[in-house]
C-alpha cells in the first residue's frame, strides 16, 4: 500500500479537507498514475452531497483524471512509464457479459466499478482523481495523445465521452442538423465535437449570454429558449437534439423541433420525473432516448478524435482549497466551462 495525499469529503455534510488515503500496491495488470489534473463533474457534487442516495464516505471524488504513468505491473502491455494517460467514470467491469464483450462496458450487466464512491469486486472502496496518485487496471486506463494538454484533456474523460458517444450513435455528421441544449460543461463539449464531426450545430440555451463562446466553439446558430416563441420558430428543424441540462423541460416543445425520424437524447439527469405526450413522438416517428458516458474503446476513439481536431475542454484551473467554492459555482452554472483541479496544490 502507498499513502497518498487527497482532497477528502469526510461526510456528506462536512467540508472537503486535505488528508491521505491508501492506494493498493500495483498488481500484475495495474498501472500507477501520478494524477496531474482532475476535472469537477456535476455528478461529483451530487454524490459528495449524497443527493443521489446513500454514498460511501470518506469520499474522494473525481472521474475526469489526467496524468502520467510512474510504474507498471509485470504483465502490463498497454502503457509504459512516462505515458500520458487518463481515467474516466469506471475502473473495472465484469469483462464477460454481453455488453462488456460488445465493447459497451459502460453498460456492464454485473455493474462496472465506479472510479469513486464504488467498490472493487473484492469489496474495497474506490477513491477518485482528487488525489496525487491512482492505481488501476491497464484495460481501464486511456491513452491521451500528444496534441492535447493534460489539463484540458481531463474533462474529456466524462464530459467529452458523454457527448461524443450519442453524437456518434445517432449519426451526427455532414448534412445533419444537431441541437445542443445547455451550454455548460457537457454542452460546450457537445458543440465542439458536433462541429468537428461536420454537423450544422445549434445551441439552445436559456439566454444568449454565452453566444459568443458558443459560436467560437463551433455553433452555427444560437437561440435563447427563455424568449417567447423560440422553439415554435424551430419546428421540424433538427435531426438530433442532445439535452445536457438536468432542469425540467417542456419536452413536447423540444420534440416538435425534430424532423421526421429525429431523436432527442438525454445525457443530463433531471431529478424529477419528466412528462411528454406520446402524440409528440408518433407524429413524426420520433424517438426519445438516453445515453450514458461511453465504453473504454469508444473513449479512446474520442480522445484520438479530439487530439486530431485540436479539441480540449474550456477550463478554469483551481487549487485544492478552492473545491468547495467551485462546487457552489457549478450549482449556480457559474463556470466557463469546467473546473479542473491542479493536483500539485494538494498537500
Ligand atoms: Zn462525470
Ligand atoms: Zn460486464
Give distance in angstroms: CA of 41 to centre of ligand 1.
Answer: 5
The pTM for the full model equals: 0.97
Q: What residues contact residue 144 under an 8 Å CB cut-off, 6+ apart?
A: 66, 84, 85, 86, 150, 153, 303, 307
Closest ligand, as measured to the CA of 163:
1
Mean pLDDT (whole number) for 270-288? 95
State the pLDDT confidence band at 332, using cuts at 50, 70 and 90: very high
Closest ligand, as measured to the CA of 103:
2
Query: By percentage, how much of the chain surpasses pLDDT 70?
Result: 100
Give distance in angstroms: CA of 47 to centre of ligand 2.
Answer: 23
Q: Using one digit for the tens of pLDDT, what is the confidence trace for 192-216?
A: 999 999 999 999 999 999 999 999 9
Q: What is the pLDDT of residue 347?
A: 83
Q: What is the pLDDT of residue 232?
A: 97
Q: What is the mean pLDDT of the chain?
A: 97
User: Ion ligand 2 — residues with CB under 5 Å?
Assistant: 93-94, 97, 100, 108, 110
b/e per residue, 91-107, with b = 16+ CB within 10 A? bbbbeebebbeeebbbb
State the pLDDT confidence band at 17, using cuts at 50, 70 and 90: very high
Closest ligand, as measured to the CA of 112:
2
Closest ligand, as measured to the CA of 98:
2
Task: For residues 112 and 135, give the distance between their C-alpha atoms in angstroms, rounded to a whole number.
Answer: 16
Give distance in angstroms: CA of 242 to centre of ligand 2.
Answer: 26
State the pLDDT confidence band at 60, using cuts at 50, 70 and 90: very high
Give distance in angstroms: CA of 207 to centre of ligand 2.
Answer: 42
Q: What is the pLDDT of residue 66?
A: 98
| Beta strand pairing call for 17-23 and 142-143 | unpaired
Give distance in angstroms: CA of 106 to centre of ligand 2.
Answer: 8
Mean pLDDT (whole number) for 224-236? 96
Task: For residues 31 and 38, give the distance between their C-alpha atoms in angstroms, rounded to a whole number.
Answer: 17
Residue 271 pLDDT greater than 90, yes or no: no
Closest ligand, as measured to the CA of 92:
2
Amino acid at each position: 500500500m502507498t499513502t497518498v495525499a487527497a482532497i477528502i469529503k469526510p461526510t456528506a455534510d462536512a467540508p472537503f479537507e486535505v488528508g491521505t488515503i491508501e492506494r493498493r500496491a500495483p498488481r500484475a495488470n495495474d498501472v500507477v498514475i501520478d494524477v496531474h489534473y482532475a476535472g469537477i463533474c456535476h455528478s461529483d457534487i451530487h454524490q459528495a452531497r449524497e443527493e443521489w442516495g446513500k454514498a460511501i464516505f470518506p469520499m474522494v471524488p473525481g472521474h475526469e483524471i489526467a496524468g502520467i504513468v510512474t510504474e507498471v505491473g509485470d504483465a502490463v502491455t498497454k502503457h509504459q512509464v512516462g505515458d500520458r494517460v487518463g481515467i474516466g467514470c469506471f475502473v473495472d467491469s465484469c469483462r464477460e457479459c454481453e455488453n462488456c464483450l460488445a465493447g459497451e462496458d459502460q453498460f456492464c450487466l454485473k455493474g462496472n466499478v465506479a472510479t469513486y464512491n464504488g467498490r472493487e469486486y473484492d469489496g474495497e472502496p474506490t477513491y477518485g482523481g482528487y488525489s496525487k496518485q491512482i492505481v488501476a487496471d491497464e484495460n481501464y486506463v486511456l491513452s491521451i495523445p500528444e496534441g492535447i494538454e493534460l489539463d484540458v484533456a481531463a474533462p474529456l474523460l466524462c464530459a467529452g465521452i458523454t457527448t461524443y458517444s450519442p453524437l456518434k450513435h445517432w449519426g451526427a455528421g455532414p448534412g445533419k442538423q444537431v441541437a445542443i441544449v445547455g451550454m455548460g460543461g457537457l454542452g460546450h463539449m457537445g458543440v465542439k465535437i458536433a462541429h468537428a464531426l461536420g454537423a450544422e450545430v445549434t445551441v439552445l440555451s436559456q439566454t444568449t449570454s454565452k453566444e459568443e463562446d458558443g459560436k467560437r466553439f463551433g455553433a452555427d446558430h444560437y437561440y435563447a429558449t427563455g424568449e417567447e416563441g423560440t422553439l415554435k420558430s424551430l419546428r421540424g428543424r433538427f435531426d438530433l437534439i442532445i439535452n445536457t441540462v438536468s432542469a425540467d423541460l417542456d419536452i413536447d416543445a423540444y420534440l416538435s423541433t425534430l424532423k421526421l425520424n429525429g431523436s432527442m437524447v438525454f445525457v443530463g439527469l433531471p431529478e424529477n420525473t419528466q412528462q411528454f405526450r406520446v402524440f409528440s413522438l408518433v407524429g413524426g416517428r420520433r424517438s426519445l432516448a438516453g445515453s450514458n458516458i461511453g465504453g473504454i474503446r469508444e473513449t479512446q476513439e474520442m480522445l484520438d478524435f479530439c487530439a486530431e481536431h485540436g479539441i480540449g475542454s474550456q477550463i478554469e484551473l483551481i487549487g485544492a482549497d478552492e473545491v468547495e467554492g467551485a462546487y457552489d459555482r457549478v450549482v449556480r452554472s457559474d463556470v466557463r466551462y469546467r473546473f479542473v483541479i491542479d493536483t500539485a496544490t494538494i498537500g
